[in-house]
Amino acid sequence: MPLIISIFQIIIISCFIFSIASTIRHHIGDSVKSVAFAIIIICLLGMIQFWIAFLLYPLSLLLKILFWTVGSVLFTRSLWKQEFRYEAAVPVIGLALASIVLALWTHLGTDLSQPIETARLRWTHSLPTDNILPFIFVENLRDGVIRIPMVGEWLSSDRPPLQVGLYLLLGLPIGYDMLNYQFSSISFQMFCLVGVWVLTRALEISPRYAILAMVTTFFTPFVIVNGSFVWPKLISGGILCITTALYFTPLHDRTRGDWLMGAAAGLSAAFALLGHGATSFALAAMALTALALHRFGRPNYLLAGFVAFVLMYAPWMAYQNYYDPPANRLTKWHLLGVIEIDSRTIGEAARDQLASTSMLAWIDGRLQNFSWLFLDYDNVVHKTILASEHVAAGDIDAARKMLAEVRVSQFFFMASGLGVIGVFSYLVPLGLILSKTRPLALLFMISSMVWVWLMFLPGSTVIHQGSMLPQLLLISGTIVTVSVFGFWPAAGLTLAHVAVTIFQYAL
């Protein structure tokens, strides 16, 4: 029964997203913008729910009842008008199926009483307990007391609150809280599939290639692990894909004077940052890419985007600085290499770190950061082949041990974590040739270099400390590029990618 209820939780979330998307599509007739707007609206409602729960938790329950009532009416209307026949239903169905498959793949046959712990240990080495932090934040809000520190050394202000708000809004109001949280949060991570679909369709390729991009994304090693280990990183990656679609595709060329589209771009950027702080690397790269491509909206577009971003993100900055300060632990960790908690400001820590680091040591650190993006890919290929040989020889234990080592590499290193698609990370400059993929290729390169440049500690450019946008850009750009050769080469690439990943994660 708990498993059935939690699967129902995933279906409910998908139905609500579909209801919003289909209602918008009914009025504007554009499936791509409708799905993008639906995700933005869900995030907006989630953040409203978070702030209401922070101010007065019982009042948030009334908002939840109102949303569920309106959502149920909209869903009934969508079914009545047969909106499921339109393309806007495709990414939402994909989200639902992927969430259910990943949830069952991760938890079926395990002890459902500790789903968060199961996800922490399921796929690779023993991961930290970060996946429970949003759940603890939710419990603090329900109790009416934000504990300082919230748990261990972590403050509530250390991690942005989007996943907290989404769960408060969309989580089932009955029993099995931890299991429902885990399953619903898997759905939130699968926003990355919707984001990839929006991005590829905004690049004006056939819908079937967008489906291939979603399938390829789901069966990518870093998505499997980070999709079930629900620290809120893939949420931000998916929303950043929507931001990219709104600003770096032909969709922007048609709407660069529309203040509403500008506001949508600003809101999506804010929600990505409210999902995870590493988004800041990607947003800096987007600004540099826009400058490099001379890609600007008209003044009303830019003003609407800026105002929307500030209005949405400023309350969280106030919370960090005044309610639960100082909230600079992760900034000092990533940008300055200060892991231990201390009372120094960012400026003081920067002065001390730079004074104690020579220029040659700093340059060497950037080179190490760059190499870590592509480290160990050949070793992963070699070990995967050896594991297949062990399976052919009937030595399953040896194959399982070999693949466990593969999964550890795929957790840390970008190219390795992309599976078969990772080989294209070495060919990204070729993406500059096609006009469709040129912005994506340039954004991939600039976002990777911003990450390499800003991460202070040598060798710290590991997947879980980045925005995850570069990987999603690479998947989308690869499918779009291969589509030039026709559907079957693209489908063959996806099939090979899926087959290898299933083999790597089946034992």
Concatenating the DSSP letter of every residue in 102-139 gives HHHHHHTTS-TT-HHHHHHHHSSS---GGGGHHHHHHH
Range of the domain at 218: 2-255
Q: Are residues 39 and 161 in the same domain?
A: yes
User: Is 483 within a domain?
Assistant: yes
Give tens-digit pLDDT for 137-151: 999 999 999 998 888
Mean pLDDT, range 418-431, rounded to an integer: 93
Q: Does the residue 304 lie in any domain?
A: no
> Amino acid identity of 69?
T
pLDDT surpasses 80 at 103: yes
C-alpha pair distances (Å), 205 with each of 64, 251, 395, 482: 38, 12, 44, 11
Hey, which residues does 154 pair with through a beta bridge? 151
What's the pLDDT score for residue 317?
94
Long-range (24+ apart) CB contacts under 8 A made by 250-259 are 250/202, 250/203, 250/204, 251/32, 251/33, 251/202, 252/295, 252/297, 255/301, 256/296, 256/297, 256/298, 256/301, 257/297, 257/298, 257/300, 257/301, 258/301, 259/300, 259/301, 259/303, 259/304
| Overall domain count for the chain | 2
97 and 225 in a single domain? The answer is yes
Mean local confidence (pLDDT), 340-356: 75
Where does a domain end: 255, 284, 306? 255
Task: Tell me: do 250 and 363 sit in the same domain.
Answer: no
Asked whether residue 128 is assigned to any structural domain, the reply reads yes
- Express each pLDDT in 295-315 by its tens digit: 888 999 999 999 999 999 999
Average pLDDT over residues 451-457: 89
My answer on whether 245 and 371 are in the same domain is no
The answer as to whether 494 is a domain residue is yes
Report whether pLDDT(406) > 70. Answer: yes
Whole-number mean pLDDT of the chain? 92
Q: What is the pLDDT of residues 270-280, one digit of tens each?
A: 999 999 988 99
Note the pLDDT of residue 253: 84
Query: Does residue 226 sit in the same domain as residue 367?
Result: no
* Domain final residue, candidates 239, 255, 271: 255
Are 121 and 251 in the same domain? yes
Percent of all residues in the chain with a pLDDT value above 70, rounded to a whole number: 99
The whole-number pLDDT of residue 295 equals: 87
> Is residue 65 very low, low, confident or very high in pLDDT (cuts 50, 70, 90)?
very high
Q: Which of 255, 287, 302 is the last residue of a domain?
A: 255
Residue 175 pLDDT > 90: no
CA 71 distance to own-chain centroid = 24
Report yes or no on 366 lying in a domain. yes
Reading the block at residue 119, the tokens are 């996800």
One domain, residues 364 and 250: no
Domain assignment present for residue 17? The answer is yes
Tell me whether residue 383 is in a domain.
Answer: yes
Domain assignment of residue 364, yes or no:
yes
